[in-house]
A = this chain, B = another copy of it.
Amino acid sequence: MAVIVQKYGGTSVGDADRIRAVARRVAVTRLAGNDVVVVVSAMGHTTDQFVELSRQVSPNDHPREMDMLLTAGERISMALLAMAIRDLGVEAVSLTGSQAGILTSMVHGRAEIEEVRAFRVKEHLDKGHVVIVAGFQGVSAVNKEITTLGRGGSDATAVAIASYLQADACEIYTDVDGVFTADPRVVPEARKLDEVSFDEMGEMAAAGAGVLMLRSVELGRRWGVPLHVRSSFHDGEGTWVREAVGGPPALVGIAHDPDQALVGLTGGGGPAAVVEALEAAGVAAETVGTGPEGVAAAVARDQAAAAVAALAAAAGPATVLLEEEVGKVSVVGAGLRDRPGAAAEVAGALGRGGIEVRLTATTPLRVSCLVPSPRLDEAVRLLHREFFSYGSEEGR
C-alpha cells in the first residue's frame, strides 16, 4: 500500500462538475488500496473575488486580514471536495492548514513552511480516511497567526505533507500532460519527458518553464520528495521529477521566458558594480554580460523600472540603457556539463537563423540567450530543432 499525495489547483476544482471529477479520481486511488492525501487550492476565481471584495471595503493593505480572508477560499473547495468523495462511499475529512500542522514563518502573504506537524493527517489516514488539506495556508509557529504561502503555495503544502508522510509520490495535477522538451504551444513537436532531475527541473523553472514553480522543485529536492507532474484530464503517466534519473547526462529541454528586460550601463562600472547596485535594490539579475556597449543584465520585466532607478542612482541617468522588448531562450540539461562549447553552439545556431543574440549567459546546466521579443518563439523552435529533433542523440 502506497502513500500518495495529490495536489489539485484552482482550475481543477473550478465548479461542481470538476469537483466531482476530482472526487472520482481520488476515490479510485483510495479504492486501489492507497493512503491518499489531497491538497486543494481555492476554486477558480475565488481568490480574485475576495481581493475585489477587499478593495470595495478598503483601499489600503491589511496583510493579516487579507490572509484571514483568502484562507476562506480553500475552506470552501476542500469542504465541497470532501462531500463529493464521501458521496462515492469513501470516507473523507477536510483539514485547514492549521489543523494539518503546516507551521510557517510569521510573514503574511508569503510565509515559508518551517515545520510540519501533520499528526491529525496521519490519524485520519490510519482510520482509512482520505484527508483533504487546504493548500496555500498555514499557521505561524510563534504566535498561531493564520498565514498564506504566496505563489505556488499549494504545491509547497503538497510537498511538505508528502515529506512528513514519506509519501511514495507527490502528484501535481495540471492542465498539461507533464514536462515537455519545450512549451507545446510554441513547439508542437515537443516531447513529454518521462523523468527529469530536480537540478534540471529547477533550471527549467528558473528559465521560464511554467508547468512547475521553482519553489516546489526546491522543496522536493530539499525534502527528497519525488514529484509526479501529470494531467488532471486522463490517467496517463506524466513526468517524474526526482533526485537521480536514468541514463547518461543529456539535454532535457528548451525553456523560454517572454517577460524579460535588458538593462545596461555604458562607460563606467564593471559587472560587479552592476550586480551590486541591482542587489541593493532587491532586483534579481539572472544573467549579466559584457559587450562592446558596456555591461548588460537581464531582469524580469516587472523589475525593469526598479533596475533602471538603481543603476541611475549608482552611475548617473545618462549612462543607463533599457531595452524592454527582449525574451530569454534557454537550453537546459545535465548534458551541457560535457559540452564546453555549448554557449557558442547555441548562440551560433541562433545567429545562423538570423536571430540577434543580445546577451548570453551560462550555468553548468543551462545556456541562456536574450533575443528580441518578436523573434523569441522562432528562437525556441529553432533551438528545439537543433537539439531535440527526432533521431538526435542530444535529447532523451
Contact = CB atoms under 8 A, between A and B. Distances in A.
A72 B62 contact: no
Contacts of A337: none
Nearest to A92: B65
Contact of A79 (B69, B76, B78, B99): B69
Interface string A59-77: 1101011101101110110
Contact of A68 (B54, B64, B78): B78
Contacts of A86: 58, 60, 62, 65
B60 A87 contact: yes
A144 B99 contact: yes
Nearest to A78: B68
A72 to B, nearest CB: 4
A283 B93 CA distance: 33
Number of copies: 2
B68 A79 contact: yes
A135 to B, nearest CB: 15
A83 interface: yes
Contacts of A68: 75, 78-79, 82, 94
A102 interface: no
Nearest to A86: B62
Interface residues on A, range: 35 or more
Given A53-B16, A65-B79, A79-B65, A58 B72 contact: no
A83 B54 contact: yes
B93 A80 contact: no
Contacts of A69: 75-76, 79-80
Contacts of A83: 54, 57-58, 60, 62, 65-66
B56 A16 contact: yes
A19 interface: yes
Contacts of A58: 80, 83-84, 86-87
A66 B79 contact: yes
A164 interface: no
Contacts of A78: 68
A110 interface: no
Interface in A1-52: 15-16, 19-20, 50
Contacts of A19: 57
Interface of A: 15-16, 19-20, 50, 53-54, 56-60, 62, 64-66, 68-69, 71-73, 75-76, 78-80, 82-84, 86-87, 93-94, 99, 144
